[in-house]
Amino acid sequence: MAMRTEAQPIIDALGAVLDEPKDDCVLPATWYVAERAGAEVVIAVNGVDPHHGVDSIATVPAALTTYETCRRWPVDLIVSAGVAGAWSRCGAQVGDVFVSRDRFVYHDRRVDLPGFDVYGVGSFPAVDASRLAEELGFSTGIVTTSNSLDETDDDRRMIAATGACVKEMEAAAVADVARLFGVPVMAVKAITDLVDHHVATAEQFTANLALATERLRDALLAVIDWCGPRTVRDLGGGQQ
C-alpha cells in the first residue's frame, strides 16, 4: 500500500503489529503482520519519503517495497491495495470497489521504437479473481498505472487502447516485480474519483478519500476472510 491513510484502517482492523525491518534495509517502508482466517497477512506500506516528508507514492517506491517484501516472506499472493480513479463509461461510482482483471498496464510510458513501444505499455498478468469478485460483489476491470494523478491527452489515448477501467499509480510496478518472483498478483481498489467527471481529479480525491478508505478496509477484510481457507487457484474458481 502506498499511503498511510489507505493502510491505517486495515492495520487497525486487523490489530496488525509492526515488524522491524532487517538491518540491511534502506527503504522507508514499514511492514505490519497479523493473523486472520488462518492466514498470515503482511501489510507493506511504502512509508514517508525522507527528503520531502510525504507518502512515497507511485511506481518506484511500489517496486522497491514489493521487492523487499518478496525477499523477506514466502509470499503466496500479493494484493496491490489502495484508492484509485475510474470511469463512468465502465459503470463506476465513487466508493465502488474494483478487483483487477486480466492484466496490469502502464499509460505514461511512451517509447516509439520497435519492441520498446510494447515494453512501455507492458502486460503484467493479474491472477484470475473472477470468482472472488462475483461472490463478494466487486466490479472488475483492467488496471492502468502511471506516475501522475491526472492524465494527458496522450494518456487518454493509451488508456482507451488498453480498455482499462481503473487508473492508479502503483499496481503495474508491483506486478512487474512480482512476476520476477513468480508470485501471483491481484489489485483491490476503492474509487475516489471519476476520471471523466467535470470536477478536477485532485478535488474529487480529497473530498472522497475518507469514504474510499473505509470501503477499502471493509473490502480487504472480506478478501482476507474469503481467501483464508482457499488456494490461489480458487480465486477464479479453479480446483486445487
Distance (Å, rounded) from C-alpha 3 to C-alpha 62? 11
Cell of 57: 507514492
CATH label of the domain that carries residue 120? 3.40.50.1580
Active-site choice (6, 55, 151, 176): 6
Are 79 and 43 in contact by the 8 Å Cβ rule? The answer is no
pLDDT band for position 23 (cuts 50, 70, 90): confident
- pTM for the full predicted model: 0.95
Cβ neighbours of residue 145 closer than 8 Å, sequence gap 6 or more? 59, 104, 105, 106, 107, 167, 168, 169, 170, 171, 172, 173
pLDDT band for position 239 (cuts 50, 70, 90): very low
Q: Is residue 68 flagged as an active site residue?
A: no
Residue 238 belongs to a domain: no
Q: What is the pLDDT of residues 44-87, one digit of tens each?
A: 999 999 999 999 999 999 999 999 999 999 999 999 999 999 99
Cell of 238: 479453479
- Residue 238 pLDDT: 64
Q: What is the mean pLDDT of residues 23-36?
A: 94
Q: What is the pLDDT of residues 215-230, one digit of tens each?
A: 999 999 999 999 999 9
Q: Is residue 134 flagged as an active site residue?
A: no
Residue 86: phi, psi to the nearest 5? Answer: -155, 180
% of the chain exceeding 70 in pLDDT: 99
Active-site choice (154, 193, 203, 225): 193
Q: What is the pLDDT of residues 202-213, one digit of tens each?
A: 999 999 999 999
Q: What is the mean pLDDT of residues 161-183?
A: 97
| Owning domain of residue 52 | 4-231
Give the total number of structural domains in the chain. Answer: 1
Residue 240 belongs to a domain: no
- Looking at every residue in the chain, the average pLDDT score rounds to 96
Residue 236 belongs to a domain: no
Residue 101: phi, psi to the nearest 5? Answer: -130, 135
